[in-house]
Structures are given as structure tokens and as C-alpha cells.
């Protein structure tokens, strides 16, 4: 993982009418990376674009902001909210969706494009990926995936000309916390982007370990959990906070830990205990 990769990414999903305001606040105050999608079921990409535009006009440099989008295949959309023509080929759907994203976000290029959900047929993942590759480097800088299993990622990685650089997955017990997949990613320099976390891991949220780390770092448990996840290495966390003060606390805590060798060194025993806890819960 590039040492300059932001450790926290602002998630714009489910912000509805407050999307522009919250995105603008996040970018101006805290976050160097924004995650959105041309997926009206959960995201308002045009409002995200409005928020980004306000932030850029305030003096934020486009080159200092990482913007990642997603192409979501037809079946995952609500029927009345499919943003592109679903009756065209996969190639046509992807091209139309990406063009819409560029227009929504008012930018000339995007830093990362994610295949949001695998296609039903693995062969279609490769078809879609080849279309993705045609946008690099002019409109898209990097290509990525979301909600992929290890087998699906291995197949795509082996057959792709431009390799995926990020995988965004739910970090929870049902997938064994992607322990083997994260190892695959570490070996290949793929950033693991974690979301859907602490509320879905009650054993971790109530553990003495998390309480101890929260007390040690003087942060709330959710932030302590984020820090432990980032501490696993090669990992980003999606933070969808709707409270500006919570955004600031989160970035401050992460910077204090990962910006200081001494603090990070002191936290290593807790990170290793967390790693062991995940192994136990994944069984």
C-alpha cells in the first residue's frame, strides 16, 4: 500500500439530502478521499459532486483529493432507480455509467473505479474489466473491485492486464474477516478497504481489548476499532460519519497513532491481540 494512501475514506452512502453539505464539510475539514457510486438506491452522486465542487472552490486542490466511484450491475439497483439503459450490452452500461459519474462529479478524471458487485458469471467480470481498462489512464487512474471473494479476486487478478489496486469488502464474521484474502492483497500491494464493521461484530465491540484501547487512546470504541483495523496493515477504513465533530476526532486519532512511530510501537501488543481475536472469531 502506498504510504501516502489516506487511511480513512469518507463514505457518502445513505446521506440523502445532506450529501452535498456533509461531503463538502468532510473534504474541507478532514478527508483526502471520498467514496461514492452511480447507485441512486444508496448514493446521491450528483449531490456528492456538488459538495466536492464547493470544497475545490474553497482552495482544496483536485490533486490532493482521491475520488473513487463504482459501477453497479443492473440487478443490484432498485428497478425504478437504474441510472443507465439496462437493455444495452455490459460495455454500453459501463460506458454510460462512467460518463454519468464524470458529469455528476464535475471532474475530468477519477482516481479509482470499482466493480461494485461481481457479475453472476465470472467471465462477465472479465468482460466488464476490459471495458474498465479502456478508461485508463485518461479518465480513470486505478481500477478496483468490491464485494469479491478470494477466488473471484484471484481469477480477475490472473487475467487482468491492469491489476486491481483496491478491494472494498464488508469486514465481518460471515467472511472470516477476509483473513486469507487480505494476505493475498498484502503480497500484491492491493489495499484492503474495510466497511460494515463494529456494529456487526458484537464480540469485538464488547471486548475488554477494545475498551482498553479506547481508554488508552482517549477515543470512543468505534474509533478504537477503526485504528485496530488499520493497524492490521495494508488497510483503509470507510468512515461514513454524519457528524463533523466526529469526523475531526476520527482523523485526529488516526493521525496521532499512525503519524507517530512511538505511539504505534506502544500499540503493537493490542494490534496483535486484535489479530488473534479475529482468528478466534473467524473459526
In tens, the pLDDT along 121-166 reads 999 999 999 999 999 999 999 999 999 999 999 999 999 999 999 9
pTM above 0.85, yes or no: yes
* Half-sphere exposure (Cβ direction) of 73: Cα atoms closer than 13 Å: 19
Closest C-alpha among 216, 185, 205 to residue 1: 185
Closest C-alpha among 245, 248, 235 to residue 169: 235
At 244-277, the pLDDT tens digits run: 888 888 888 998 999 999 999 999 999 999 999 9
Answer for the pair 43, 36: CB distance below 8 angstroms, yes or no: yes
**Alpha-carbon distance 180 to 215, whole Å?**
31
Residue with cell 477519477: 110
pLDDT at 3 over 60: no
Q: What percent of the chain has pLDDT over 90?
A: 83
Closest C-alpha among 166, 188, 47 to residue 114: 166
pLDDT at 4 over 70: no
104: Cα separation from own chain's centroid: 19
Q: How much of the chain is in helix, strand and coil states, percent to nearest 5?
A: 55, 15, 30
Which pairs with CB-CB distance under 8 Å and at least 24 residues apart come from 175-181? 175/149, 176/282, 177/278, 177/281, 177/282, 178/150, 179/278, 179/279, 179/282, 180/150, 181/149, 181/150, 181/153
pLDDT mean across residues, the chain: 93
Tell me what pLDDT residue 237 has.
94
Rounded to whole angstroms, the maximal C-alpha distance in the chain is 57
**Alpha-carbon distance 241 to 223, whole Å?**
11
Q: Is the peptide bond before 137 cis (omega within 30 degrees of 0)?
A: yes
At 42-80, the pLDDT tens digits run: 999 999 999 999 999 999 999 999 999 999 999 999 999
Backbone angles phi, psi at 72, to 5 degrees: -110, 125
163 secondary structure, DSSP code: P
Q: Look at the domain 8-202+225-242 and name its fold.
A: TIM Barrel (3.20.20)
3-class DSSP state of 10 = strand
Amino acid at each position: 500500500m502506498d504510504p501516502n494512501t489516506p487511511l480513512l475514506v469518507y463514505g457518502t452512502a445513505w446521506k440523502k439530502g445532506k450529501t452535498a453539505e456533509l461531503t463538502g464539510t468532510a473534504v474541507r475539514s478532514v478527508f483526502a478521499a471520498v467514496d461514492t457510486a452511480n447507485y441512486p438506491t444508496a448514493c446521491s452522486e450528483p449531490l456528492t459532486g456538488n459538495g466536492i465542487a464547493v470544497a475545490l472552490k474553497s482552495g482544496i486542490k483536485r490533486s490532493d483529493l482521491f475520488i473513487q466511484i463504482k459501477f453497479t450491475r443492473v440487478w443490484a439497483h432498485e428497478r425504478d432507480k437504474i441510472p443507465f439503459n439496462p437493455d444495452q450490452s455490459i460495455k454500453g452500461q459501463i460506458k454510460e455509467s462512467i460518463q454519468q459519474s464524470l458529469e455528476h462529479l464535475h471532474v475530468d478524471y477519477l482516481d479509482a473505479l470499482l466493480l461494485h458487485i461481481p457479475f453472476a458469471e465470472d467471465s462477465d467480470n472479465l468482460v466488464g474489466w476490459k471495458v474498465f481498462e479502456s478508461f485508463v489512464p485518461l479518465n480513470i487512474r486505478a481500477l478496483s473491485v468490491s464485494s469479491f471473494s478470494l477466488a473471484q479476486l484471484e481469477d480477475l487478478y490472473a487475467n487482468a492486464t491492469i491489476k486491481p489496486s483496491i478491494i472494498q469488502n464488508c469486514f465481518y464474521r460471515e467472511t472470516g474477516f477476509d483473513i486469507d484474502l487480505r494476505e493475498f492483497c498484502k503480497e500484491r500491494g492491493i489495499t484492503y478497504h474495510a466497511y460494515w464493521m463494529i456494529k456487526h461484530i458484537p464480540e469485538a465491540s464488547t471486548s475488554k481489548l477494545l475498551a482498553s484501547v479506547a481508554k488508552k487512546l482517549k477515543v470512543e470504541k468505534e474509533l478504537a476499532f477503526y485504528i485496530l483495523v488499520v493497524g492490521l496493515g495494508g488497510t483503509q477504513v470507510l468512515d461514513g460519519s454524519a457528524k463533523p465533530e466526529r469526523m475531526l476526532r476520527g482523523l485526529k486519532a488516526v493521525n496521532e497513532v499512525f503519524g507517530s512511530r512511538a505511539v504505534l510501537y506502544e500499540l503493537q501488543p493490542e494490534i496483535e491481540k486484535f489479530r488473534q481475536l479475529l482468528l478466534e472469531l473467524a473459526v
